[in-house]
Amino acid sequence: MDLPTLQPFFEDKPELLQEILDRYPLGGRRSALMPLMWEVQRAERHVSEARLHEIADIVGVTATEAKGVMSFYSTFHEHPVGRFHLQVCRTLSCKLAGGDELYRALVAETGLVSGETDAAGTFSLQNVECLGSCGTGPVLQVNDTYHERVTRTRLAELLAEMRAGHEPAPTRERGGDNVSAQKAARAEPAAEPAAGGPAEGPADAPADAPGGSSDEEGGAA
């Protein structure tokens, strides 16, 4: 990837820089460290040494301090990740839904192991810990998007899309009260004006909750 490292990242983005710095109270400039790293990483898929120095200068800390912060967090990358950064959850609930096998399938498909990026810069693979999607495992995070209940078939579709150069569209998996709420909303056609305040908000009949949501439920069984 060509990185114009000679030009400071925020040099031509003064408004963005100011917006980020202004988020924090006076004396809290250091709080902008992580948001600035996020901006760089979203654009360049990693935070290089040069960018780190730039961010440290903006915030007023040493580059060593900034690096200390960056290295603490597992989602900041020192080296560029692929255009499609594949993050597989491997924690218990996903493991019980086949997370380990999902990871091995990705190893076989991409030829990468966790921490690697392919030569073309298309894919990178990372084993990650709990993504907070335990009811809809196994989960694969592609860049910023969650793909839940990734079955063998679904994985093949996702990979085909990415190989064709498309970022796969997010699909929303549902479970539990997600399903019943959707049902209740369908059952209640028009948005009811708030006549009686919260006490009369649309109630979700408890008896509706468990059954009959098969149309929206994936391969839990």
Partner 1 sequence: MSAVADKPAAITSRFDPRFEVTLYRHVGVDGAHTLEHYRARGGYRAAEKALTTMTPTQVIDEVKASGLRGRGGAGFPAGLKWSFMPPIDGRQRFIVCNGDESEPGSFKDRYLMEDDPHQLIEGMLIAGWAIQATIGILYVRGEYYLAYERMRAAIAEARAAGLLGRGVFATEAEGEGDEATPASPGFDFDIILHRGAGAYICGEETALMNSFEGLRANPRLKPPFPAQAGVYGRPTTINNVESFCSVTHIIGRGAAWYAAMGTDDSKGTKLYQLSGPVARPGVYEMPMGATFRELIFDLGGGPTEPAKAIIPGGSSTPMLPWSDETLDLPMDYGTMAKVGSMLGTGGVIVVPESQCMVDAMANVVRFYAHESCGKCTPCREGVATWLPKMYQKLLAGLGTREDLTLMEEMVRNLRGTAFCPLADACAMPVAASFQHFRHEYEHLVDHGQPKYPTVSRWAE
Within 60-119, the residues that bind partner 1 by CB under 8 A are 61, 68-69, 72-76, 90-93, 95-98, 101-102
Query: Nearest approach, Cβ of 136 to partner 1 (angstroms)?
Result: 7
SS3 state of residue 85: strand
Q: Which one, 49 or 192, has the nearer CB to partner 1?
A: 192
SS3 state of residue 30: helix
Residue 123 has φ and ψ, to the nearest 5°, of -115, 150
Angle at 147 between CA 143 and CA 153, to 5 degrees: 120
Q: Which one, 4 or 27, has the nearer CB to partner 1?
A: 27
DSSP classification of residue 131: -
> What is the rounded distance in angstroms from the CA atom of residue 213 to the CA atom of residue 205?
14
Within 113-152, the residues that bind partner 1 by CB under 8 A are 128-138, 141, 144-146, 149, 151-152
> What is the rounded distance in angstroms from the CA atom of residue 175 to the CA atom of residue 95?
18
Within 153-192, the residues that bind partner 1 by CB under 8 A are 153, 170, 174-182, 184-185, 191-192
Q: Which of 184, 186, 189 is nearest to 202 (CA)?
A: 184
Q: Can you give the C-alpha Rg of the chain in angstroms?
A: 22
Q: Which stretch binds partner 1 (CB under 8 A): 1-9, 10-18, 19-27, 107-115?
A: 19-27
Within 31-60, the residues that bind partner 1 by CB under 8 A are 31-35, 37-38, 59
Query: Nearest approach, Cβ of 5 to partner 1 (angstroms)?
Result: 22
Query: Nearest approach, Cβ of 2 to partner 1 (angstroms)?
Result: 26
